[in-house]
Amino acid sequence: MNYLITIIGPTAIGKTSLSIALAQHFGCDIISCDSRQFFKEMRVGTAVPNEEELNSAPHHFIQNKSIHESYSVGDFEQEAIAKLDELFLKNNVQIMVGGSGLYVDAVLKGFDDFPEINENIRKQINADFEILGIDYLQQKLKKSDPVYYQKLSVENPQTLQNPQRMKRFVEVCLGSGKPYSSFIGQKKNSRHFTPIVLGLEADRAIMYDRINQRVDLMMNEGLLAEAEQLFPHQQLNALQTVGYRELFDYFTGKISLDFAIEEIKKNTRRFAKRQITWFKRSENATWFDYQVDRKKIIEHIENQFIIHNS
């Protein structure tokens, strides 16, 4: 039986450190599912593991793409599953780590099948959005799929403010003539592994302090220079990311550098809260304090081997 040890939790909680310790213990590789660490131009601002960490265990899907490439969560799902199939031939235990909930779900559960959408519909939605804004997308979804709109309003209201996600919902509704929700749960994805999901958590004050310290460290390590180099490409989807957006506003003179840094900290804290909300819905996840003795985590994992093999 194959096992995919999956480490989840908010940013700056210590997932990388734990993943390396477990990879060394089990003699296996690490699959990264941080949707921004894929991009080689975004090293400092995405807290890519340092050279020593990368050399401590084999890593995959870190800085393997360019911000100029089109790379979707569906692309990642296919590539990650193919890589895992290859890795499981060498070792029946592998590790996946990252804070991008959608990408974690893509590997563990897979995606539903959605219809191909006519490019003209997509272009029209983009054009209408540029003129009418997020309200247009919200009203379109509310009319086309009131059930899904209501579900998002209650369970995930921040998604209603996400233009990329909302455009996708609306284009499926308009392109298929069916509610977006009608395509959810129709496809059963088979996986050739058993997931063992581990969550790391801390008191909110501790988590926020760790985030603030990380932002200061990023600034010391050259985030400002990295963002300045990327500034000409600020419209790219990959760069619509906390840590870069705020510095782009500084470069255009909208805000001061000190204010930009405080905004990065604030927006990263908000992002961490959203990560917790997403991951706390994870089925069968076992949560540990971020400072727990790693021997207890290893013991928990090895007990899962026994349970699933009995």
Which regions of 9-122 does DSSP assign to beta strands (E)? 30-32, 59-60, 93-97
Give residues with Cβ within 8 angstroms of 193, minimum separation 6: 1, 2, 3, 4, 84, 88, 94
Cross-strand bridge partners of residue 93: 3
Known binder of ligand: residue 159? no
Known binder of ligand: residue 295? no
Known binder of ligand: residue 286? no
Known binder of ligand: residue 12? yes
The count of other CB atoms within 10 Å of the CB of residue 95 is 27
Known binder of ligand: residue 10? yes
Cβ pair 297, 21 in contact under 8 A: no
Torsion of the alpha carbons at 3, 9, 11 and 15, rounded to the nearest 10: -40
Known binder of ligand: residue 46? no
179-200 burial code (b ≥16 CB/10 A, e <16): bbbebeeeeeeeeebebbbbbb
Longest dimension (CA), the chain: 63
Known binder of ligand: residue 14? yes
Q: Which residue has the tokens 């996986």?
A: 191
Cβ pair 16, 53 in contact under 8 A: yes
Known binder of ligand: residue 16? yes
Give residues with Cβ within 8 angstroms of 36, minimum separation 6: 42, 45, 46, 100, 238, 241
Pairing verdict, β 59-60 and 30-32: parallel
Distances (CA, A) of 281 to 155, 184, 191, 222, 232: 10, 17, 20, 36, 38
Annotated binding residues, as ranges? 9-16
Annotated binding residues for ATP, as ranges? 9-16
Annotated binding residues for substrate, as ranges? 11-16
